[in-house]
């Protein structure tokens, strides 16, 4: 019995909780990608760097607040700075749309052209972020590090295995739940939200119904700015901030959006968790868990790590390919790629 | 003769910069009337209706609504003027519920839309039962009802239907025609394109037989049905 509990604690500590936090970050990122795909009808490769930009502004404002001595006590100061990150990202995205995307929209450019355009935007944004904050690692978390630390947990339960629950993980999960709840309320209950879904569903009929496409596009960018800046800041807070990491995040984010079904917000969330749990589970050495679960003498000699963490992106790739081969519209009904 | 409420007068034009599809084609309808455009495949029936709705370039002729020149208005602006259009395909928001489809139809309205919505549920009672269901899950006939309902939400003066009975069973077709007559009785002008020429002309106050983008016969529905030439050429004897 104790062995079973210990196994569960080890699994929670190294797999379930980290995957839950990582999945929340991916879900927020994938929601942004999927909204753009559904409404503006292209795959936005600049989304990773949009997240980096939002995170960067959040960091700069956090430092400013820390300099002024403003803090949230046990919670990270960054939470106060996220709204500023969102506002700056909104300005960046609306400016980009005005200067770049709008031109191609008026030309009625094919989606593939917009994808290439978004790659250009990606490089510019990436350069901008590195130019402002530099290419290095930045730490900006403060406040209480743990909601519950491994040592406290052991003392509390008397188990030999500890369970650590980081503040940033807790904040990530709670924030993601709140953001998703607000987003779904907006999309399903408000007039503007419904008009966005209608526009995504059938653009011609939306125009015939008098829905203003410019307004839909603007609201979409604003929401995407909120999602991207929040996701970027939470990821940076939970792991660490490095501009290039966000470029690499693009793969699992797109995998999540495609797995869930592009254009389907519910799918993006499910996809985020599918990708996160597979990635963490497959790259985690299961030796200790199995050691507790299997009878004495059967303990595995090897680490039982299916894949080295260096190859974790292979997991996203593999899932992406399997889904595209067997279910191109994703787990939930999305648009086919 | 007084000017009809809506008239596409001597329209000549085509899509984009392509060749002309319509040649001096005239389509008109009065309040409470049903006007039906029939003709062989490729006669430009749908094109004539789209021309009236501003979806193609007319370089000769004009479109007038209640005496007002609207030839150069965009389709969206024509919706605001009281014209509603139900396309032949993709005429509903499949992922939205029936009720949301109706709400989106009334997007331009800022007043209370519940009364209109109730009227539409009275007209199509099945939609009331299915109002929380995604429109894409409905049968062909029910989808057409959603499409017509969405268009009626703007409280239009003219309702334009592009082959409303395409792909539905004969029973559903009769049912739909009954509903369309009911809408016309409320004083709304109906302009529709139909494949099922015989049935459509039976309910038509005015019928237009188009051939190669031009008017061939124009008369009341009953007169066209009785005309031996029309019968022989277009109604299969």
Task: Give per-residue pLDDT as tens, B59-75.
Answer: 899 999 999 999 999 99
- What pLDDT is attached to residue B18? 83
Contact B108 A204 (CB under 8 A): no
Residue A286 lies in a domain: no
* d(C-alpha A80, C-alpha A70), whole Å: 9
Contact A197 B150 (CB under 8 A): no
Residue A73 lies in a domain: yes
Helix pair angle (A17-39, A191-201), 10° resolution: 70
Contact A194 B104 (CB under 8 A): yes
Instruction: Divide the 337 residues of chain A into consecutive groups of 10 and give the mean pLDDT of each group.
Output: 86 93 96 95 96 97 93 91 98 97 93 95 96 93 88 87 91 95 96 95 91 95 97 94 92 94 92 95 87 80 83 89 90 69
Residue A275 lies in a domain: no
* d(C-alpha B38, C-alpha B89), whole Å: 18
- What pLDDT is attached to residue B57? 85
Residue A31 lies in a domain: yes
Q: How many residues are given for chain A? A: 337
DSSP B209: E
* d(C-alpha B80, C-alpha B135), whole Å: 25
In A, which residues are within 8 Å of B76 by CB distance? 207-208, 210
Write B112-119 long-range contacts (CB < 8 A, 24+). Answer: B113/B153, B116/B152, B116/B153, B116/B155, B117/B153, B119/B152
* d(C-alpha A7, C-alpha B134), whole Å: 44
Whole-structure pTM value: 0.90
Residue A6 lies in a domain: yes
Q: Which residues span the domain enclosing A66?
A: 2-35+46-248
Q: What is the dihedral of CA B13, B159, B208, B52, to 10 degrees?
A: -10
Number of domains observed in the structure of chain A: 1
B79, B85, B96 ranked by CB distance to A197: nearest:
B96
Strands (E), A213-318: none
Contact A195 B80 (CB under 8 A): no
* d(C-alpha B209, C-alpha B197), whole Å: 9
- What pLDDT is attached to residue A162? 86
| Main-chain dihedrals φ then ψ at residue B61, nearest 5 degrees | 90, 180
ipTM, 2 dp: 0.89
Q: Which residues contact B217 (CB under 8 A, 6 or more apart)?
A: B207, B208, B209, B224, B227, B229, B230
Residue A54 lies in a domain: yes
Q: Single out the residue of A141, A319, A154, A311 nearest to residue A235, CA to CA.
A: A141
Residue B11 in 3-state DSSP?
strand
Residue A151 lies in a domain: yes
B79 touches chain A (CB under 8 A): yes
Q: What is the tens place of the pLDDT at every residue in B197-228?
A: 889 999 999 999 999 999 999 999 999 999 99
Q: What is the tens place of the pLDDT at every residue in B121-153?
A: 999 999 999 999 999 999 999 999 999 999 999
Residue A50 lies in a domain: yes
């Amino acid at each position: 019995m104790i062995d079973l509990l210990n196994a569960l604690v080890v699994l929670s500590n190294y797999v379930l909780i980290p995957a839950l936090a990582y999945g929340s970050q991916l879900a927020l990122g994938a929601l942004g990608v999927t909204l753009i795909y559904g409404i503006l009808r292209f795959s936005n490769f600049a989304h990773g760097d949009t997240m980096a930009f939002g995170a960067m502004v959040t960091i700069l404002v956090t430092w400013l607040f820390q300099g002024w001595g403003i803090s949230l006590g046990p919670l990270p100061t960054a939470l106060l700075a996220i709204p500023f990150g969102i506002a700056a990202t909104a300005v960046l995205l609306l400016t980009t749309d005005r200067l770049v995307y709008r031109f191609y929209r008026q030309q009625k450019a094919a989606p593939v052209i917009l994808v290439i355009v978004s790659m250009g935007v990606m490089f510019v944004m990436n350069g901008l972020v590195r130019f402002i904050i530099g290419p290095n690692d930045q730490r900006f978390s403060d406040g209480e590090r743990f909601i519950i630390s491994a040592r406290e947990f052991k003392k509390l339960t008397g188990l030999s295995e500890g369970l650590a629950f980081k503040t940033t993980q807790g904040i990530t999960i709670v924030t993601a739940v709140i953001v998703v709840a607000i987003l779904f309320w907006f999309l399903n209950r408000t007039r503007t939200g419904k008009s966005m879904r209608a526009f995504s569903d059938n653009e011609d009929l939306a125009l015939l119904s008098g829905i203003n496409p410019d307004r839909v596009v603007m609201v979409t960018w604003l929401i995407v700015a909120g999602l991207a800046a929040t996701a970027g800041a939470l990821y940076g807070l939970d792991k660490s901030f490095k501009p290039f990491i966000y470029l690499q995040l693009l793969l699992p984010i797109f995998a999540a959006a495609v797995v869930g079904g592009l254009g389907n917000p519910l799918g993006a969330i499910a996809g985020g968790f599918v990708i996160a749990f597979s990635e963490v589970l497959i790259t985690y050495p299961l030796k200790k868990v199995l050691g507790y679960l299997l009878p004495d003498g059967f303990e595995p000699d090897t680490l039982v790590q299916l894949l080295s963490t260096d190859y974790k992106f292979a997991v996203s790739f593999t899932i992406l390919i399997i889904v595209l081969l067997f279910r191109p519209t994703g787990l939930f009904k999305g648009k086919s790629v | 003769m007084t000017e009809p409420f809506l008239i596409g007068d001597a329209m000549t034009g085509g899509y984009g910069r392509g060749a002309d599809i319509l040649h001096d084609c005239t389509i008109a309808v009065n309040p409470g009337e049903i006007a039906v455009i029939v003709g062989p495949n490729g006669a430009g029936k749908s094109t004539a209706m789209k021309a009236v709705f501003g979806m193609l370039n007319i370089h000769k002729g004009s479109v007038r609504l209640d005496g007002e020149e609207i030839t150069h208005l965009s389709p969206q602006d024509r919706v605001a003027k009281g014209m509603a259009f139900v396309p032949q395909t993709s005429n509903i928001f499949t992922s939205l519920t029936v009720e949301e489809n109706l709400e989106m139809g009334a997007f331009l309205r800022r007043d209370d839309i519940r009364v209109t919505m109730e009227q539409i549920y009275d007209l199509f009672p099945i939609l009331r039962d299915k109002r929380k269901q995604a429109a894409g899950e409905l049968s062909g006939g029910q989808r057409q009802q959603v499409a017509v309902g969405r268009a009626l939400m703007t409280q239009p003066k003219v309702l334009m239907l592009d082959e409303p009975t395409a792909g539905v069973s004969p029973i559903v077709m009769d049912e739909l025609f009954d509903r369309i007559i009911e809408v016309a009785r409320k004083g709304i002008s109906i302009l529709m394109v139909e494949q099922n020429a015989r049935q459509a002309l039976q309910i038509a106050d005015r019928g237009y037989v188009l051939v190669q983008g031009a008017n061939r016969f124009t008369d009341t529905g009953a007169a066209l049905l009785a005309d031996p030439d029309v019968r022989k050429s277009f109604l299969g004897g």
